[in-house]
Amino acid sequence: MDLSFYKGKKVFLTGHTGFKGTWLSRILILAGAEVTGYSLEPPTTPSLFEQTKTASQMKSIIGDIRDGARLKTEMLEAKPDIVLHLAAQPIVRASYKDPVGTYESNVMGTVNILEAVRACPSVKSFVNVTTDKVYLNKEWTWGYRENEELCGFDPYSNSKSCSELVTYSYKNSFFNEKTSPAISTARSGNVIGGGDYATDRIIPDCIRAVESGKEIILRNPNSTRPYQHVLECLRGYLTLAKAQYEDKSFVGSYNFGPDDESCVTTGELATLFCENWGEGAKWKNVSEANAPHEANFLKLDCSKSKTVLGWYPQWGIRDAIKKIVEWEKAVQAGTAASEITDKQIKEYFGM
């Protein structure tokens, strides 16, 4: 993808202090965009956002997506050309602990951002980032297409299904004029990459274990997930935002997931990680009593994104794991997190 389109563009990004948000912020900064971020404080300590000192290279607003009035005020001041909505409560297990907060952030947060877009005449392209978990999961062996039924099981997944429906309603109710901004949703799977410190995620759990000299604990080594490097889906969001900015016929819902070879079991992923990390790293299975429900298998059919947008995965699962280990070991050795992050972005995009 040629990132030159984003040079000089004003981009409003929610959730910019999170893992995906930080990687996306750095891509846009390197591309020469004028980036305004709106998000809560970084969700982890440490955090990639603070490690990379990204706040110094953009306008970083610490705000709550649930505060619709503040969000609207900040967007009107920023006058963005493009809005990318990533802010969310993103963890399945956390959604069981706080379902109300999850729905407030993921559903009413979507209402609030769309209301802000309605009030801001400068916006030409809006992408709401959801998840592969929006689909009614029937444990199929084939991938879900964009026209499949939406009905997430757990509060996180279900709230993201609701977010899709809210976006659909707003697009048809309020953004159907020729001068209206282009409105789309983007669905992606389990992202991995350097600098992720979230709890209850396989790669951060692996890294924490090996760095403390312990065995990696897997709750369910036989569950299959479609893993992809974070840069893969971010390129998808940027490709979609650009395409519909230039031609509104591209609006719709799009899947951005890995090819079949990257749909691996948690055990296979951990084995790949251990092989790349070395130093005697290994994992073991420890079953968890009364664990909350999590889907065993779900993958995406990305034929639409490939055919319509020309988007294809570039880094398979082995490349992704190699890059994660490279990132972590570079930071351990004293390389600045911003330096290794930007190096991998430039390599990925051919900059």
The predicted pLDDT at position 289 comes to 57
Given a contact cutoff of 8 angstroms between Cβ atoms, the answer to whether 52 and 30 are in contact is no
Average pLDDT value for residue range 160-187: 97
Count of positions (residues) in the chain: 351
Q: What's the confidence (pLDDT) of residue 62?
A: 98
Helix (H, G, I), strand (E, B) or coil at 228: strand
pLDDT category at 142 given cuts 50, 70, 90 is confident
Give the span between the Cα atoms of 275 and 331, in whole angstroms.
19
d(CA 3, CA 82): 14
Local structure of 44: helix, strand or coil: coil
Given a cut of 80, whether residue 288 has pLDDT beyond it is no
Give the pLDDT confidence score for residue 290 in this predicted structure. 60
- The residue-averaged pLDDT of 90-119 equals 96
Q: Tell me, what's the pLDDT at 141?
A: 81
| pLDDT tens-place string over residues 190-239 | 899 999 998 888 999 999 999 999 999 998 888 888 899 999 999 999 99
> How far apart are alpha carbons 288 and 257 in whole angstroms?
29
Using CA atoms, how far apart are residues 171 and 44, in angstroms rounded to an integer? 34
291 pLDDT above the threshold of 80: no
Q: What's residue 150's pLDDT?
A: 96
Residue 297 has pLDDT above 80, yes or no: no
Lowest-confidence segment of 131-140, 144-153, 213-222, 292-301 by average pLDDT: 292-301
Segment 239-263 mean pLDDT:
96
User: Quick one: average pLDDT of 49-65?
Assistant: 98
**pLDDT tens, position by position, 9-38:** 999 999 999 999 999 999 999 999 999 999
Q: Please give the Cα distance from 14 to 62 (Å, whole number).
A: 10
pLDDT for 255-272, tens place per residue?
Answer: 999 998 898 999 999 999
Which position has the token pair 């299959």?
224
Percent of the chain at pLDDT > 90 equals: 87
**pLDDT above 60 (res 94):** yes
Q: Please name every residue paired with 62 in a beta bridge, in sequence order, or none if there are none.
A: 39
Above 60 in pLDDT, residue 294? no
319-332 average pLDDT score: 97
Distance of alpha carbon 165 from the chain centroid = 19
179's CB contacts (< 8 A; 6+ apart) are none
- Find all residues with CB under 8 Å of 158, minimum gap 6, and list them: 151, 152
Placement of tokens 């109300």 in the chain? 100
Mean predicted confidence (pLDDT) in 95-103: 97
Query: What is the value of pTM for the model shown?
Result: 0.95
